[in-house]
Amino acid sequence: MTRVDAEFARLFALDGQGALIDGAGRSRALVLDWAAPADWDELGAVWRGVQDVLGWPAPAIAVSGEALQLWFSLVEPVSADQARTLLVALRRRLLPADRAMRVEGWPREGRHACRPGEPLPGDERWSAFVAPDLAPLFAQTPWLDVPPGDDGQAALLAGLGSVTPERLAVLSASASCVGAATVPGVAPRAFLEQVMNDASVPLALRIEAAKALLMVSDRQASV
């Protein structure tokens, strides 16, 4: 296994073979993509927002040949329904309403986005992971003209982490307010209260936890 294979598997794979989705539709990788010509300001706002607002690790940025993508790594796999719930919640939380549903999400219909780093149909084009400071250059042409180097791809992935179930709780609690399922094994209300009252947590994240807790409380009161 090459270094880039090992880093990709660490972040996204379900097994030693590098599978991104299993027969039950479970996945550790959530992907949002902006079809070319992509709106980098919009994608960049989501890339920054998941870190600043939700406290998540930075997602990987990729070019797929047709779109710019954000790849989110989860510590634990989620079901197809849970993946769909989280992707909808991400779009609604971090994108304008008129744009939220125009951004595609993976996995969907039992399939996953293709792994970046592969040759694409046509003349000398490759998908790849790209650095945040270079990503805007690919908004119109989301591909590389030369094969991506394994060492460079591995280095881009090596600094990334995975979203824990606890960090998913803030987002999943917001999603539950529109009737969606929460992440299994996590008690969002208790976790949100803990975050809100923890002085060591950044203020922005404590405020988001308080907002999510209010939504959960309002929904429960209406039942």
- pLDDT tens digits, residue range 66-105? 999 999 999 999 999 999 989 988 998 899 888 887 899 9
Please say which residue of 127, 158, 189 terminates a domain.
Answer: 158
Tell me: do 85 and 177 sit in the same domain.
no
Question: 217 in helix, strand or coil?
Answer: helix
Tell me: do 148 and 193 sit in the same domain.
no
Host domain of residue 177: 165-222
Phi-psi group of 199: left, alpha or beta (phi > 0 → left; psi -120 to 50 → alpha; rest → beta): alpha
Q: How many domains does the chain have?
A: 2
Tell me: do 30 and 116 sit in the same domain.
yes
Tell me: do 39 and 127 sit in the same domain.
yes
Q: Which residues contact 58 (CB under 8 A, 6 or more apart)?
A: 47, 50, 51, 132, 160
Grade residue 178 by pLDDT with cuts at 50, 70 and 90: very low
186 DSSP assignment: -
Q: Which residues contact 125 (CB under 8 A, 6 or more apart)?
A: 65, 119, 143, 144, 145
Tell me: do 51 and 154 sit in the same domain.
yes
Tell me: do 134 and 115 sit in the same domain.
yes
Grade residue 63 by pLDDT with cuts at 50, 70 and 90: very high
Tell me: do 70 and 134 sit in the same domain.
yes
Tell me: do 41 and 146 sit in the same domain.
yes
Instruction: Give residue-wise pLDDT tens across range 10-57.
Output: 999 998 678 999 989 999 999 999 999 999 999 999 999 999 988 899
Up-side HSE of residue 9: CA atoms within 13 Å toward CB? 11
Tell me: do 8 and 80 sit in the same domain.
yes
Tell me: do 170 and 78 sit in the same domain.
no
Q: Which helix (H) or strand (E) holds 26?
A: none
Structure-model confidence comparison of residues 82 and 221, the more confident one: 82
Instruction: Specify whether the CB–CB gap between 34 and 100 falls below 8 A.
Output: no
Other Cβ atoms less than 10 A from the Cβ of 36: the count is 17
Tell me: do 25 and 76 sit in the same domain.
yes
